[in-house]
Amino acid sequence: MNPSRQHIQIAVDAVVFGYRSASGLSVLLIRRRFAPHAGAWALPGGFVRDHESLEEAVSRELEEETGVNIRYLEQLYTFGDADRDPRGRVVSVTYFALVKPENLRIFADSDAEETAWFDIQKLPELAFDHPRILKTAIERIRNKISYEPIGFELLEEKFPFADLHTLYETLRGAPIDRRNFKKKMMSLQILEESGERRKQAGSGRPAALYQFNKEKYFQLKEKGIVFEV
């Protein structure tokens, strides 16, 4: 067949997850300025340019539309049904990103009327087939957490143990025994005490702050980590 007869556009879209123990797991959405679906909430994304890789395209779009600083990015899935975009045939390669709370600051730009974080429990209506994409992403993060310590990419550099605990409970959607969880986490030896303690807080005993030991984490990943919580 002659490929020059193809009229398919290629786009990238990103599902960016952020987490704060107070507000839970959130997704970054933009409100579209232009048709189709002007005014509707959607995943950040856009068309791939001729000479950039897919990853470069996602990073650029995220930078342009939201200003977030992404530190973890992996491909999620490619959606290519013929009728998924009213403008014509668009195949979208979707990505899955995690950002630390330090980088939750966002801004809107020319293509996006507004940018906001939404708790995954309280999502607005979404444009295109983005509900399906988001559903796929949430499944992925739920699965992923059971074999890879991605808390690493979602928490602040130094964090109280309770934050990690709450993150896992949120993603699992079920309570996890505090002592057993800590025992297992510590046995992996990827956490170290920073010596510091939390200053803020309301009342209650101040919590020790931990940080990930990246070297041990990557060593573990090499060997094929097994990690069931």
Partner DNA sequence: ACAAAAGTGTTCACAATACACCCATGC
Partner DNA sequence: GCATGGGTGTATTGTGAACACTTTTGT
Q: Catalytic: 114? A: yes
Sign for the CA dihedral angle at 87, 88, 93, 96 comes to positive
For residues 142 to 181, the per-residue mask of contacts with DNA, x marking binding by CB under 7 A and - elsewhere, is: ------------------xxx--------------xxxx-
CB of 223 to DNA, least distance (A): 14
Among 36, 39, 81, 192, binds its own copies (CB under 8 A): 81
Is residue 212 at the binding interface for DNA, with CB under 7 A as the rule? no
Q: Which of 55, 64, 114, 156 is catalytic?
A: 114
Distances (CA, A) of 2 to 5, 67, 72, 90: 6, 40, 38, 19
Q: 175, 148, 18: which is closest to 96 by C-alpha?
A: 18
Query: Measured between alpha carbons, how far is 27 from 78 in angstroms, rounded to an integer?
Result: 19
Number of residues that bind DNA (CB under 7 A): 19
Cis geometry, peptide bond prior to residue 36 (ω within 30 degrees of 0): yes
Is residue 51 at the binding interface for its own copies, with CB under 8 A as the rule? yes
> Are 105 and 116 within 8 A, CB to CB?
no
Query: Measured between alpha carbons, how far is 212 from 198 in angstroms, rounded to an integer?
Result: 16
Q: 62, 57, 47: which is closest to 9 by C-alpha?
A: 47
Of 51 and 179, CB closest to its own copies: 51
Strand boundaries in the chain, DSSP class E: 9-20, 24-32, 41-42, 45-47, 72-79, 90-99, 112-119, 159-160, 191-197, 208-212
Picked from its own copies, DNA, none, the partner binding residue 23 (CB below 5 to 8 A depending on kind) is none
Q: 37, 35, 39, 41: which is closest to 15 by C-alpha?
A: 41
Picked from DNA, its own copies, none, the partner binding residue 184 (CB below 5 to 8 A depending on kind) is DNA
Query: Measured between alpha carbons, how far is 114 from 138 in angstroms, rounded to an integer?
Result: 23
Among 48, 97, 133, 138, binds its own copies (CB under 8 A): 48
Q: Mark the segment that binds DNA (CB under 7 A) among 32-40, 80-88, 96-104, 206-214.
A: 206-214
CB of 190 to DNA, least distance (A): 15
Picked from DNA, its own copies, none, the partner binding residue 105 (CB below 5 to 8 A depending on kind) is none
Residues contributing to the site for DNA (CB under 7 A): 160-162, 177-180, 182-184, 201-208, 228
Residues contributing to the site for its own copies (CB under 8 A): 1, 3, 5-11, 46-54, 75, 77-78, 80-82, 87, 89-91, 93, 226, 228
Tell me the catalytic residues. Answer: 114
